[in-house]
Structure 1
């Protein structure tokens, strides 16, 4: 192998390492069988969710994950593999990819690392069913808002009743 080829490979390995150092999660999928149109639609959904999706050579990813919290991914890097990385929402890659897998019925989870913990394919499916951070916040706010607004209405009714009685 030429020195130039080695340098090119090292640039890609460094790129992968950089992405993973900044990532909250990384998910590896088997993307075999998808058409160009399906792959394009999937990439758009992932982009919309702010997820970085790239197909790398397995050997380069294996070298990039050595000695990192993503090292467990090396064991699933056989055959066609793509990596989806999220920097903001740790669950986003799994959630978006799960929807795409269900829609196209062609791809499959291989494994993933979410906030430093390794999960196999079944674990990734379970994570994919978790609501997003925004959904959890909205549910929480909704649950505390309901009793507060009920109390406000009760106090207003009491005030109105007293005002009516005094008139």
Structure 2
């Protein structure tokens, strides 16, 4: 890779990391190429991005994006996206599917570095669509109960008649 290519990659990653609300650093040692493609497919489904980047280039991009606290060692895979929960869920799902070969190390949420426990807690939260579904279910409950009551009243009146 030439110096110009490296500078271009750092610039692209800096822009991507600056715009994203969640960045998860994972160790992917031991994954096959097909399994790595599966992780990329998981990320694409959740509007997240995955890239294997050299530590020095990733560190420069993170520093330029204003995230100085992340320490990158060994092999690292970066997962980032705008939605914090879906990005954390993507990394958690990959870590669950590929135990001991895909490990979440650390991450950053809204530009501040966080530990593994925070990322795991974010992965357990329901997504935006699930929360909207729960809210609609709560809003529809009184109407549903009212219609069930009216139907029971109708059946009772029919039996009496």
- RMSD of aligned alpha carbons: 2.4
For residues 58-79 of structure 1, the C-alpha deviation after alignment (integer angstroms, 9 at most, x for no partner) is 1011111215443222x2x111
Which residue of structure 1 aligns with residue 105 of structure 2?
Answer: 110
Offset of residue 149 of structure 1 = 2.1
SS in structure 1 of the partner of residue 88 of structure 2: helix
Match of 2:121 among 108, 116, 126: 126
SS in structure 1 of the partner of residue 30 of structure 2: coil
Offset of residue 157 of structure 1 = 5.2
| Residues 108 and 148 (structure 1), Cα distance of their counterparts in 2 relative to 1, 3 Å cut | same
> In the alignment, is the contact (CA less than 8 A) between 1:29 and 1:81 conserved in 2?
yes
Which residue of structure 2 aligns with residue 53 of structure 1?
Answer: 50
Q: Does 1:92 align with 2:89?
A: no
- Greater shift, 128-137 or 140-149, is seen at 140-149
Matches within 5 A, 1:1-167: 5-66=2-63, 68-73=65-70, 75=71, 77-87=72-82, 89-105=83-99, 106-154=101-149, 156=150
Q: What's the TM-score, normalizing by structure 1?
A: 0.82
List alignment gaps of at least 5 residues for structure 2: none
Equivalent pairs counted in the alignment come to 157
For residues 103-135 of structure 1, the C-alpha deviation after alignment (integer angstroms, 9 at most, x for no partner) is 111211111122334211222122111111111
SS in structure 2 of the partner of residue 79 of structure 1: coil
List alignment gaps of at least 5 residues for structure 1: none
Runs of 4+ in 1 over 6 A off after TM superposition: none
For residues 28-84 of structure 1, the C-alpha deviation after alignment (integer angstroms, 9 at most, x for no partner) is 1011111122112121111121211001111011111215443222x2x11100111
